[in-house]
Amino acid sequence: MIYGYARVSTDAQDLTGQLDQLKALGCSKVFREKESGATAERPKLKRLLRMLAPGDLVVTPAVDRLSRDTTDLLVIARDIQRAGAGLKSIAEPILDTTSDFAEVVLAVLGIAAKFERRRITERTALGRSQAKARGVKFGRKPKLTGHQRREALKRRDSGKETLREIALSYDVSHQTISRLKA
């Protein structure tokens, strides 16, 4: 049986391109996942690994779809080999665990995936700092406007009302009122 494994990190990303590649290579069943590749704790990947039988083949669009961590990649590849199955990558045709050099190739590709992950993290951090410098605010929007916060603080500090009463009037939780700072 030829299995495919496609993964993107977020719901906003699309699996279509990966699915097309895997179906073109004759994958009978494709496991799809929208999870980070930084960890091997992915439900669909685990299910795929449990289903493998001798002679099966796992095809992935690229090695970083399986893992971005060298150790995790090698463990996943070992689990595939222990099941008697093979592993191939479309983007890195040299990745073929049925060859004699499988472990060397996996180690090199895993390191490359880890470096790419580091570059992505660096680019993301740079983008965030540049956005902050431009005044972009991150995180959730405040539940209360500035005027509502000042008003709620006055009401809370007067001690005439409970936190729950104040919170109800603004349609927020009492914790929101309790966390307000002057």
Given 9, 36, 169, 173, which residue is catalytic?
9
Distance (Å, rounded) from C-alpha 182 to C-alpha 178? 11
- Kind and range of the H or E element at 30? strand 29-34
Task: Give the three-class secondary structure for 123.
Answer: helix
β-partners of residue 2 are 57
Q: Cα(170)–Cα(108) distance, rounded to whole angstroms?
A: 57
Examine the residue annotation and report whether 99 is marked as an active-site residue of this protein: no
Task: Indicate the length of the chain as a whole number.
Answer: 182
Q: How far is CA 83 from CA 49, 54, 70, 101, 158, in A?
A: 8, 6, 20, 18, 69
> Rounded to whole angstroms, how far apart are CA atoms 129 and 131?
5
Catalytic (active-site) positions: 9
